[in-house]
Structure 1
Amino acid sequence: MEENKKNLSFLGPVGTYSEAAALEYKKDVHNLIPKSNLSEVLGSVVANTSEEAILPIENSRVGTIIEVIDYLINSKNLFINHELLLPIEACLITKENIKNLNHIREIISKPEAINQCNEWISKNLRKDIVVTGSPSTAEAVESLNNLPDSVAAIGPERAAVIHKKHIVKKGIQDYKNNVTRFVVISNEENKPTGKDKTSIAFDFKKTDKAGLLFTALQCFSKRNINLQKIESRPKGTKLGEYIFIIDLDGHLQDENIEEALKELKQVTSFLKVLGSYSY
């Protein structure tokens, strides 16, 4: 491990899409540290054993990855400080080089990866195909070592190369423009770059009061602040209570953003800036 390089934790093992995103993000100035789960990835930043972590936060097909958002909402000193978009190409991978797809009797992969290839699977593989979940796409590919030749994995090309497996078919994802948004997380807030977005989360004091969300959004519209994304998710307290997550143009230090958030704070019971970052 090189002393002059920062540590960058990612959701391992090697060969995952997360590793591909980590390699794309300033790979020449980071030691890449694979971790086995989300808590370990972000916990390494909290414990200062890694300066940064990179995680998937949204997929163009399946939407927001709630576990990551929840962790950031509930953390005290973690901030998004960069994002990057990674095209996702799923490959059908086998232990031996097969010619007939009917030979495949079982598919193994991370459930999200399987879901993103459902249409291709139903059109091209046996009707009685067995589907088995795996903690990660890379682990699915590696597991082929100990499985029959009739088992195939869905995963990235890099995993097939690392584990010396055969790629039967590339690009089997149902949506060819399948993209995953990754965010880089650290315990330091970013300075403005001139091309930034800010992510916030908030909820309301009285959820049964009419017009609360409209009032909140006016904080931005009257200042001509563009909202790139708005969504809600259950708070987990009781039915009908939600947390709202917004991505907006600009940086926390911009005067109009600062004013908008100050006003928003007056009508919310909870407001957290998840980060201002370049994109």
Structure 2
Amino acid sequence: MSDAPSPTMSYSYLGPAGTFTETALGQVEAARGQAWSPVNNVGEAFADVISGRSVAAMIAIENSIEGGVSATQDALASVPGLRIIGEYLVPVNFVLVGRPGTTLTDVKVINAHPVAYAQCRGWLETALPDHGHIPATSNVTAASALLLNDHAEAAVAPPGITAHYDLDVLAEDIGDNPNAVTRFVLVSRIRAIPPRTGADKTSLIVELPDDHAGALLEMLEQFSTRGVNLSLLESRPIGDALGRYRFVIDADGHIEDERVADALLGLRRFSPQVIFLGSYPRADKQPIEFTSRYDDEVFIEARDWLRGIITAEPVDREPVDADAVGGR
């Protein structure tokens, strides 16, 4: 058996170095010691994965202040063959930086990624009520652009940015919400589903079959009648006509949980387009809570009961007392 080290694998992330996405990738044990490839946008990250240039890509998908990241949600709906294999949480705060020698009174125009700008808007409007805003493609790009041109005097950037660029910190902790968190997902072509842990999440994208009164309720009933809670439900336009939407869904539980599997079967019968994005452990490791009548044993006993009726075979299994199962 050869003792040669395994080939280095590459992981893509929204760069350049110093972004919150890079921080999220640092939480992936398998990525440590491997090659990391900074990319400019979500499309480039997914292209790396599809082509095999990278084994996986770290992408922001949701922020506790601004909600879902639409570019990621739309890309997941349009790029086939991708799976989410993990999620990671990064606390988010910002500093205001400027070129050396800049003071807060000098600032008239600010570079900032739109999401970061929205999270700091209250502070900025109070401290710099007359400022202008130039959108940037990333938080680090906003800061690095200060050294390339003089269109702005300051930038909203991640803490620690001065370790990468010769900039002065003009103000710290400028985020409006100190509890802000961004959720990232690791996306891969790997088809194997991580084993269930009891603290899992299942992500889907679902289209309504047609536009009629109660269609959304019918979709949601696929989950509610199986006791499956939704931690995310967002609509995104499909783009082929006004009023046509798809829904990005995070359901509590794993596809191997009987209640989740049954909900997905109901969805598949209901909708012409269901995209399974993955079942994976929750970043917060919080166990999923549900009432005992939705325990796996209840679904299994019901299927055995029905099979016994159809096949006229005796069923050895005793009826399940839902109140006695699981103790949830």
TM-score (normalised: structure 1): 0.91
**Shift of residue 130 of structure 1?**
2.8
Match of 1:42 in 2: 46
**Shift of residue 83 of structure 1?**
0.6
Contact 1:109–1:136 (8 Å) recurs in 2: yes
For structure 1, which segment, 214-223 or 71-80, has the greater mean C-alpha deviation from structure 2 after superposition?
214-223
Deviations 1:112-149 (A, max 9, x none): 22222111111112x43232222222122112223459
Match of 1:242 in 2: 245
Match of 1:174 in 2: 176
Contact 1:114–1:154 (8 Å) recurs in 2: yes
1:153 aligns with 2:147: no
Higher strand share: 1
**Shift of residue 4 of structure 1?**
4.2
Question: Given the superposition, is the C-alpha separation of residues 273 and 150 from structure 1 closer, same or farther in structure 2, using an over 3 Å criterion?
Answer: closer
Match of 1:185 in 2: 187
Letter in 2 for 1:44: D
**Shift of residue 23 of structure 1?**
2.0
Provide the C-alpha distance between the structure 1 equivalents of 2:52 and 2:279, rounded to a whole number of angstroms.
21
Q: Tell me, what secondary structure is at the counterpart of 2:160? A: helix
**Shift of residue 105 of structure 1?**
2.2
1:54 aligns with 2:61: no
**Shift of residue 84 of structure 1?**
0.8
Match of 1:65 in 2: 69
Question: Given the superposition, is the C-alpha separation of residues 212 and 106 from structure 1 closer, same or farther in structure 2, using an over 3 Å criterion?
Answer: closer
For structure 1, which segment, 139-148 or 177-186, has the greater mean C-alpha deviation from structure 2 after superposition?
139-148
Provide the C-alpha distance between the structure 1 equivalents of 2:35 and 2:72, rounded to a whole number of angstroms.
22
Contact 2:97–2:156 (8 Å) recurs in 1: yes
For structure 1, which segment, 86-95 or 141-150, has the greater mean C-alpha deviation from structure 2 after superposition?
141-150
1:211 aligns with 2:246: no
1:119 aligns with 2:134: no
Q: Structure 1 residue aligned with 2:164, among 162, 170, 180? A: 162
**Shift of residue 24 of structure 1?**
2.8
Q: Tell me, what secondary structure is at the counterpart of 2:211? A: coil
Provide the C-alpha distance between the structure 1 equivalents of 2:241 and 2:122, rounded to a whole number of angstroms.
36
Structure showing greater Rg: 2
For structure 1, which segment, 44-53 or 70-79, has the greater mean C-alpha deviation from structure 2 after superposition?
70-79
Match of 1:198 in 2: 202
For structure 1, which segment, 115-124 or 27-36, has the greater mean C-alpha deviation from structure 2 after superposition?
27-36
Provide the C-alpha distance between the structure 1 equivalents of 2:98 and 2:175, rounded to a whole number of angstroms.
17
**Shift of residue 29 of structure 1?**
4.2
**Shift of residue 231 of structure 1?**
2.0
Match of 1:22 in 2: 25
Q: How many residues align?
A: 275
Provide the C-alpha distance between the structure 2 equivalents of 1:61 and 1:148, rounded to a whole number of angstroms.
31
Letter in 1 for 2:121: N
**Shift of residue 220 of structure 1?**
1.8
**Shift of residue 16 of structure 1?**
1.6
TM-score (normalised: structure 2): 0.78
Q: Tell me, what secondary structure is at the counterpart of 1:266? A: helix
Match of 1:79 in 2: 83
Provide the C-alpha distance between the structure 2 equivalents of 1:227 and 1:143, rounded to a whole number of angstroms.
40
Letter in 2 for 1:202: V
Letter in 1 for 2:221: Q
* Structure 1, unpaired ranges of 5+: none
Please, what is the CA RMSD of the aligned residues? 2.0
Provide the C-alpha distance between the structure 2 equivalents of 1:38 and 1:227, rounded to a whole number of angstroms.
25
- % identical aligned pairs: 32
Deviations 1:191-250 (A, max 9, x none): 223121101111122212x32222222222222222212222222122222112211111
**Shift of residue 3 of structure 1?**
5.5
**Shift of residue 253 of structure 1?**
2.4
Provide the C-alpha distance between the structure 1 equivalents of 2:276 and 2:233, rounded to a whole number of angstroms.
14
Q: Tell me, what secondary structure is at the counterpart of 1:223? A: coil
* Structure 2, unpaired ranges of 5+: 283-328
Q: Tell me, what secondary structure is at the counterpart of 1:225? A: coil
